[in-house]
Chain A
Amino acid sequence: MLKFDHVSKVYKGGKRAVNNLTLEFEQGEFICFIGPSGCGKTTTMKMINRLIEPSEGGIYINGENIMDKDSVQLRREIGYVIQQIGLFPHMTIQENIALVLKLLKWPEEKRRARALELLDLVDLTPDYLEKYPHELSGGQQQRIGVLRALAADQSLILMDEPFGALDPITRDSLQEEFKKLQKKLGKTIVFVTHDMDEALKLADRIVIMRDGELVQCDTPDEILRNPADEFVEEFIGKDRLVQARPNIQTVEQIMNSAPITITGDRSLSEAIQLMKQKRVDSLLVVDDQHVLQGYIDVELIDQKRKKASLVSDIVTPAFTVEQGTLVRDTVRRILKNGMKYVPVVDQEQRLIGIVTRANLVDIVYDSIWGEDDIAL
């Protein structure tokens, strides 16, 4: 689908920003380019849509050399999302989403229909079409930024640190949402980032670069298990290498499979009794099918005690991870969002376990003192 054949970018004065890069990617792959500042990752990405022209070698999209195409035509066939979001403040959301379609001379009704269809992908209501970018939150704006790149159904999308300017929680949810979207639509994504967590979470393959050279190109697991050299090891960081220990893979292996639960129809005093008896400060709320409703904790009960009497009155939605999630992603969620625990659910949102900070301590203990008995 996308092929780099001995590609270099040489600037005046002989500085080689990218040197002799040869890579090949399949349709539907999510590729992250990562490396320290000035490693040439952004230059590499911008050469794909000719915002920067390659000096040597050839870049091929579906077998066609990009230099043989008109650069404007080429860019209209490739989605492009930038870090600063770059929505046009004087255009409505509809005009922003459908801008490429306008350039491609689609009629107005078709543009509107397409904008509506896209808005639905990110669960935004149709009334957003008439709004202006400044009326949206940062996360919503970047969702629109992504939709804009999908408008003409481009099969290749370039993204330059698209979530870099967002706060950690918004970034986390947008990453998840976007990864799902990408799988569903089967797009090929070239994604530039300097955040290793982001790359590990999103990428099918990670391309690590340094000083314009390719250092390693592999799947996240392979990179974690077999870093090519010390640079890669250092770049990944020791803690992530520990988290990636091969014998612990998915969250089911470390979770506690018998979390303390309560159903919504119980009274708050029953809830408190249960907490006291089990010596916990929060309870997961489930219905009779064992589907997770949320959680309650001591503070919530304390605040709402006067007005509420049933558990269902004060239940609060909880962050969850799905069964099969990698341990390293789970750990990251817990640590980054400052959570005490995270419930594990299956595809039907049924509660199957819980990962608490105590479980994390176990992993750390194993990795420090238990390493001898595990063949790495």
Chain B
Amino acid sequence: MDAFLQFFSSYGSEMLFKTWEHLYISFIAALLGIIVAVPLGVLLTRFSKGAGIVMGILGIIQTFPSFAILAFFIPLLGVGKTPAIIALFFYSVLPILRNTYTGVSGVKKSLLEAGKGMGMTGWEQIRYVEIPLAIPVIMAGIRLSTVYLIGWATLAAYIGAGGLGDYIFSGLSLYQPEFILAGAIPVTILALLVDLLLGKIENWITPTGMKKMKEAA
């Protein structure tokens, strides 16, 4: 316990900063992922033939070891936060994309026909029908990929992006377990908190009618 307090008194403020860095890297990567993957997912539902190919390619990228991807970006973008964010972004795309695609293609064809027959433009169908109905599935993808990103962001320390991974790597190389814990515990807490927060957001943006329907069922 004493060691714990001592560690805190000497590294407390640094830890806060690292946590912030960690959050920043994961958050930007996830945000980029959402900005790219959600529209792309909707777009893919319009080209169901191309969808399989795109998903396949992304699935292959997903299987690359994350270390390899991070290392791969060093010659291209150097070290630091940018290559880390870009590498993590690649990982965030697939779960969000796949869920968006599944969610939007799961919207009943009869509803789309009703919408089109009433005179909705393609955009209005997406805006008023497809996205609201697919929100729970899309959000599940976003939650999943954000939680993963927070875990993976520890590796970003390897290419000098900072974050809580710094502690883990120095703990490993110096064989100082308290450093490893100082990295691992906040990461876990962070992941749980972010998942909780996203759960709240999901609840908040899910249309009331769908929530009621779920309760009734």
Contact = CB atoms under 8 A, between A and B. Distances in A.
Contacts of B216: 134-135
Interface in A72-93: 72-77, 80, 82-92
Given A90-B132, A132-B209, A80 B120 contact: no
A72 B110 CA distance: 18
A100 B212 contact: no
Contacts, number: 76
Contact of A82 (B114, B119, B121, B124): B114
Nearest to A79: B118
A51 interface: yes
A135 B212 contact: yes
Interface residues of A, number: 30
A83 B210 CA distance: 22
A61 to B, nearest CB: 14
B111 interface: yes
A132 B206 CA distance: 14
Contacts of B65: none
A152 to B, nearest CB: 9
What bracket does the count of chain B residues touching chain A fall in?
Answer: 20 to 34
Given A103-B124, A134-B216, A49 B117 contact: yes
Nearest to A73: B119
A76 B111 contact: no
Contacts of B116: 51, 75
A149 B117 CA distance: 10
A147 B111 CA distance: 16
A158 B114 CA distance: 11
A80 B111 CA distance: 12
A264 interface: no
Contacts of B128: 88, 99
Contacts of B208: 90, 132
A92 B209 contact: yes
B209 A80 contact: no
B129 interface: yes
A51 B209 contact: no
Interface of B: 108, 110-111, 113-121, 124, 128-129, 132-133, 207-210, 212-213, 216
The 8 closest A-B pairs by CB, nearest first: A86-B114, A76-B119, A90-B207, A75-B119, A80-B117, A84-B110, A132-B209, A90-B209
Given A76-B118, A133-B209, 15 more contacts: A49-B117, A72-B119, A74-B119, A82-B114, A84-B110, A88-B128, A88-B209, A90-B132, A90-B133, A99-B118, A103-B120, A103-B124, A132-B209, A134-B209, A135-B216
Interface of A: 49, 51, 72-77, 80, 82-92, 99-100, 103, 132-135, 148-149, 158
